Structure 1
């Protein structure tokens, strides 16, 4: 089987990291060494994704009077198909476009990226995945990521970043659904909810995404590209 791998570093941004991030993932900065080591490998394509929200984004609890972040949810409806909707958790304001919190963390070796994919810019839908919003008909907020991977003849996708149980999970699952052999490198991600991570991890693996160790053969083969 052909092997043309891509690396996707998901949302490694200040607002998702201690000590000052408004939606800091516990120990989020601890993935830095693993991510930078992966960036040093000769992937033909290395991409970063960035949450990039407008102030009126639907996911912000502040935009829903009387609602509390982490506690309350809102119903999000497909703007092109009103019969399709889903409930989504509300969050603190985070990753506002052009804000300090939206910046990639400075310790990340950002010069290694071939491109950056911004997501979450549409105010009326939530977008955990770097590919598109989670609607089935019709597709909303397509970032063009799948087309970019195919244009570079990518066969395998390695996913790291933040957070494991939200945007990393959603990106990896959509990568797999798009037909790419997909891995999450476990040392390169951290979850929002560590207590629930074992169950979420099981669900991801059952869906067809492989969760691998940095010491695995799947990572070792990257050195021989």
Structure 2
């Protein structure tokens, strides 16, 4: 029997309007996801909810060196430093997640000492890889949402599919950086990788 997880990728203040790496529409996604999680019918489709967070301690070349311009491909402005306000999940969504009492919630942190775009590169508080925790819960299917479609949502979805999970990206609950890249992913990139788009 199918068991489904909802993976909420990096809905953090640094990736929303006003943050260090702001993505236009990030706060709208946070609001929409929070409302959805308070909807019993929506939540009833899931056996597990996962949140992922960039949680950088010393990620090396992932942060541009002081005085150097980031290239926005390999190096980035300082963002989502562990324990900082920018690394927090947007309050409205965090409150909705805390209010879940019908299914387990798994918190995943990634990028401690290196770049990490996929939630599957992250670990729980007790250092368990996400895929191991999902398998322990018997998860067969995942829906992926969050920020940003053309970076961390993409990598999380691709890794989920590579791990053998039936994977869907929820377009109403995801926002990207470059519209042409997002359109290409939805039209070609995701389908070619076996990732559904809904």
Give SS of 1:97's match.
coil
The answer to whether 1:195 aligns with 2:183 is no
Q: TM-score, normalised by structure 2?
A: 0.84
Alignment match, 1:204: 190
Counterparts of 1:21 and 1:28 in 2: how far apart (Å)? 10
Cα shift at 1:15:
0.1
Structure possessing the higher radius of gyration over alpha carbons: 1
Matches within 5 A, 1:87-98: 88-98=73-83
RMSD: 1.9
Change over 3 Å in CA distance of 1:119–1:143 after alignment to 2: farther
Alignment match, 1:119: 110
CA contact (8 A) 2:61 2:74 kept: no
Alignment match, 2:62: 59
CA contact (8 A) 1:130 1:143 kept: no
Alignment match, 1:30: 28
- Looking at secondary structure, tell me which structure has more helix per residue: 2
- Looking at secondary structure, tell me which structure has more strand per residue: 1
Q: TM-score, normalised by structure 1?
A: 0.75
The answer to whether 1:131 aligns with 2:134 is no
Change over 3 Å in CA distance of 1:56–1:185 after alignment to 2: closer
The answer to whether 1:110 aligns with 2:97 is yes
The answer to whether 1:50 aligns with 2:53 is yes
- Runs (4+) of structure 1 moved beyond 6 Å? none
State the number of aligned residues.
182
Give SS of 1:167's match.
helix
CA contact (8 A) 1:39 1:46 kept: no
Counterparts of 1:170 and 1:200 in 2: how far apart (Å)? 11
Cα shift at 1:157:
0.3
For structure 1, the 5+ residue unaligned runs are: 73-87, 134-141, 213-225
